Amino acid sequence: MNAPTLHFYDLHPPLADIKEEVLKGLSCQPKAIPPKFFYDEYGSQLFDQITELPEYYPTRAEIGIIKEDGEEMVSLLGNECLLVELGSGSSQKIRLLLDALQPAAYMPIDISKEHLLKSAQVLATDYPDLEIHATCADYSEHFHLPYSPDDKPKAAFFPGSSIGNFDPPQAQALLQRVAEFLGQDSTLLIGVDIKKEPQRLNAAYNDAAGVTAAFNLNLLTRINRELEADFDLSRFEHNAFYNEPQGRVEMHLVSNTPHEVQVGGQTFEFAEGESIHTENSYKYTVTQFQNLANKAGFQPEQVWMDSADLFSVHCLRVR
Ligand SMILES: C[S@@+](CC[C@H](N)C(=O)[O-])C[C@H]1O[C@@H](n2cnc3c(N)ncnc32)[C@H](O)[C@@H]1O
């Protein structure tokens, strides 16, 4: 009989930390809440719906690249490694690599606890020989891998252009931490969205079916539930646009009326038109991203793109 193959580590940030971060963000001018808080269980389900939308090209483009060039990716990652995935979501993309790759173990890391657990259980059923170390943690904070055998090389997979949620200095600091836990000569495979014409970017974050708007507004539902808040969702509107000078798509929740909101015992005033900045999604040229990776301690090894140059997957090696 095989040993149990699914292990679960709960390093989810405590509610007090989430409260502190949300209150701090709402006290800033302009108001801002980090996008990691989108991902409660329903937020993760909404994100999965976003990936299916006709306007949302990044998921299809990245999957197409991995299908086309996966063999070369697998050879660069190498077998028998501990394969760490940052922001694993539904663990769909990793399947494209797992069919050819035999890692010693797979460690999906995600902040969305219930969704991570369910996805890891489905993966364990579909890949019964795969040792899985599912880890619920916030990778934007310093944390140690809860499972890190000395005798296994490490590799990492960071798809979905989630690195774009960080401004370039924060992205560099996060990549530096990834390089540290991976160790010298290890490989990182990372998906990065490419700079392109604003029309396509604006459409991708303003879908006709309104799923991205629901995803954005769900942040307020979550805060109401978890932090004793009284946001009235009908007083906020989804707003997303490409900020070309900054090279990023911005998402906001804009108040359509002057009003007050209670959150965790504090009162916050909103003017008409005032926004909560909920997400940045930075876009990069290949060279811009390679320069960033270089500064974080990685040697760019290879880059693959789709035929329309919408998306890039980089292979980086820790120097
Ligand atoms: C844009 S989705 C990408 C999901 C999947 N990797 C894909 O490519 O389709 C971002 C994922 O990262 C997770 N996530 C976001 N911020 C995180 C953080 N700070 N720490 C851990 N996971 C995070 C979310 O829960 C979500 O599953």
Domain segments of the chain: what residues? 28-37+200-282, 53-196+285-318
State the pLDDT confidence band at 144, using cuts at 50, 70 and 90: confident
Is the whole-model pTM more than 0.95? yes
pLDDT above 90: residue 105 = yes
State the pLDDT confidence band at 136, using cuts at 50, 70 and 90: very high
- Token representation of residue 234: 């009908």
Name the architecture of domain 53-196+285-318.
3-Layer(aba) Sandwich (3.40)
Average pLDDT value for residue range 59-72: 98
Between the CA of 258 and the centroid of ligand 1 the distance, in Å, is: 33
Percent of the chain with pLDDT over 90: 96
**Main-chain dihedrals φ then ψ at residue 232, nearest 5 degrees:** -100, 110
Which pLDDT score is estimated for 1? 47
Nearest partner of 246 among 219, 281, 218, 287, judged by Cα? 281
pLDDT in tens, 29-48: 999 999 999 999 999 999 99
pLDDT above 80: residue 3 = no
pLDDT above 70: residue 4 = no
**Measured between alpha carbons, how far is 74 from 71 in angstroms, rounded to an integer?**
5
The residue whose CA is least distant from atom 5 of ligand 1 is 89
Neighbour tally for 117: CB within 10 Å: 17
Q: Counting atoms of ligand 1 from 1, which one is nearest the CA of 59?
A: 9
Ligand 1-lining residues (CB < 6 angstroms): 36, 39, 44, 47, 51, 59, 87-89, 93, 109-112, 138-140, 159-160, 162
The residue whose CA is least distant from atom 17 of ligand 1 is 36
Between the CA of 298 and the centroid of ligand 1 the distance, in Å, is: 22
Between the CA of 88 and the centroid of ligand 1 the distance, in Å, is: 6
Any idea what the Cα angle at residue 211 is, between residues 209 and 214, rounded to 5°?
Answer: 125
Task: Using the CB atoms, write b or e for 122-135: b if 16+ within 10 Å.
Answer: ebbeebeebbbbbb
Residue 4's contacts (CB-CB under 8 Å, 6 or more residues apart) are none
Average pLDDT value for residue range 174-188: 97
State the pLDDT confidence band at 237, using cuts at 50, 70 and 90: very high
